[in-house]
């Protein structure tokens, strides 16, 4: 009996030994696979780290370039500001030393244009009887276009110099006032526009109906009226006139009021016959001058 127990114990020890060996083998296989996976993950992490370090280096280099560019632009901007300040100072000094009154020159060109218009009308009347005057009439019309362009240029210069004087400070503004940029020309002061025998200044005639803004926010192009340039169009807007039918509706008394209140351009309404032109334009028609404006030959 004891001999059988010894045999059983021996078999048990052998089985335990085999189980232990089998466990070691299985554990070694599992651990080896785990180590391989961890090694692969470690290598991938190292590669990713290298990529991120390269990206960081690239971003740092890009940041240095951006900072260098910003520094250059800042220096250039500072230089531009200094040059602009110098130009402003030079302009202010020139205005103070030798202010130029363009109002008188504009007036002279306007008078020349009015004389030209009269000559054109005479030639048109003679053209019926004398066809050979066609060349002279064409020459006069071309001269009229040149004078209209010159008037528009002078009005733009006058507007630009007035704005420059206002932006130059109190000193330049005083010079501008002395030069006559904000004063009505003496040639147009003290006139009796309504013909009642009394000089009433800006109270001449009757003020027309005005608007606070253009209808539907779309004003008519008043520069199609001969004698109205960009600056004068802005003045008409400030007085409340935006449309052809407003101008076309003016009577003699209202024309007198507008003539007296166009600061720097007094008398232009009646002299250039705005009402007659506006009636044509308000009805959807076109004048010879408005056609040139549409064609870009004037402004």
Residue 271's CB is within 10 A of a number of other CB atoms, namely: 16
**Same-domain check for residues 172 and 203:** no
**Same-domain check for residues 179 and 191:** no
Is 85 contained in some domain? no
Domain end among 115, 150, 183: 183
Is 24 contained in some domain? no
Asked if residue 292 lies in contact with residue 298, where contact means CB atoms within 8 angstroms, the answer is yes
Is 94 contained in some domain? no
Residue 249: DSSP 8-state: T
**Same-domain check for residues 196 and 261:** yes
**Same-domain check for residues 163 and 203:** no
pLDDT of 56: 85
Q: What is the DSSP string of 163-208?
A: HHHHHT-HHHHHHHHHHTTTS--GGGTT--TT-SS---GGGSS-PP
Count: domains in the chain: 2
Listed in sequence order, the residues at least 6 apart from 164 whose beta carbon sits closer than 8 Å to its beta carbon are 91, 95, 172
pLDDT of 191: 79
Is 253 contained in some domain? yes
pLDDT of 179: 38
Is 62 contained in some domain? no
In angstroms, the CA 189 to CA 191 distance is: 6
pLDDT of 131: 56
Is 49 contained in some domain? no
Sign of CA dihedral 70, 71, 77, 80: negative
Q: pLDDT below 70 — which residues of the chain?
A: 1-7, 32, 35, 92-190, 194
**Same-domain check for residues 195 and 268:** yes
For the whole model, what pTM was predicted?
A: 0.41
Is 80 contained in some domain? no
In angstroms, the CA 147 to CA 120 distance is: 13
Domain end among 183, 216, 234: 183
Tokens of 281: 């334009």
Is 38 contained in some domain? no
**Same-domain check for residues 229 and 286:** yes
Q: What is the DSSP string of 92-156?
A: HHHHHHS---HHHHHHHHHHHHHHHHHHHHHHHHHHTT-GGGHHHHHHHHHHHHHHHHHHHHHHH
Domain end among 183, 199, 222: 183
In angstroms, the CA 84 to CA 187 distance is: 37
Residue 241's CB is within 10 A of a number of other CB atoms, namely: 23
Sign of CA dihedral 263, 267, 273, 279: positive
**Same-domain check for residues 224 and 201:** yes
Tokens of 78: 């500072």
**Same-domain check for residues 190 and 154:** no
pLDDT of 291: 92
**Same-domain check for residues 207 and 255:** yes
**Same-domain check for residues 155 and 214:** no
**Same-domain check for residues 190 and 292:** yes
Q: Which domain holds residue 219?
A: 186-299
**Same-domain check for residues 177 and 211:** no
């Amino acid at each position: 009996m004891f001999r059988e127990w010894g045999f059983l114990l021996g078999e048990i020890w052998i089985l335990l030994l085999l189980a232990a060996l089998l466990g070691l083998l299985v554990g070694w296989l599992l651990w080896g696979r785990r180590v391989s996976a961890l090694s692969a993950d470690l290598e991938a992490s190292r590669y990713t780290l290298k990529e991120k370090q390269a990206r960081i280096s690239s971003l740092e280099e890009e940041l240095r370039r951006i900072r260098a560019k910003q520094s250059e632009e800042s220096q250039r901007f500072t230089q531009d500001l200094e040059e602009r300040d110098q130009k402003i100072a030079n302009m202010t000094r020139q205005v103070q030393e030798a202010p130029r009154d363009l109002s008188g020159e504009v007036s002279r060109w306007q008078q020349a244009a009015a004389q030209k218009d009269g000559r054109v009308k005479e030639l048109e009347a003679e053209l019926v009887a004398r066809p050979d005057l066609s060349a002279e009439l064409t020459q006069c019309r071309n001269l009229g276009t040149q004078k209209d362009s010159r008037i528009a240029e002078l009005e733009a210069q006058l507007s630009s110099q007035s704005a420059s004087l206002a932006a130059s400070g109190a000193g330049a503004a005083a010079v501008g006032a002395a030069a006559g940029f904000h004063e009505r020309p003496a040639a147009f002061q003290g006139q009796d526009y309504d013909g009642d025998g009394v000089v009433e200044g800006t109270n001449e005639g009757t003020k027309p109906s005005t608007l606070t803004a253009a209808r539907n926010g779309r004003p008519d192009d008043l520069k199609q009226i001969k004698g109205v340039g960009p600056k004068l169009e802005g003045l008409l807007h400030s007085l409340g006139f935006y449309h052809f039918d407003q101008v076309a509706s003016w009577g003699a008394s209202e024309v007198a009021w507008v003539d007296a209140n166009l600061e720097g351009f007094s008398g232009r309404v009646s002299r250039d016959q705005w009402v007659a032109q506006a009636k044509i334009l308000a009805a959807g028609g076109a004048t010879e001058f408005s056609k040139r404006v549409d064609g870009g030959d004037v402004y």
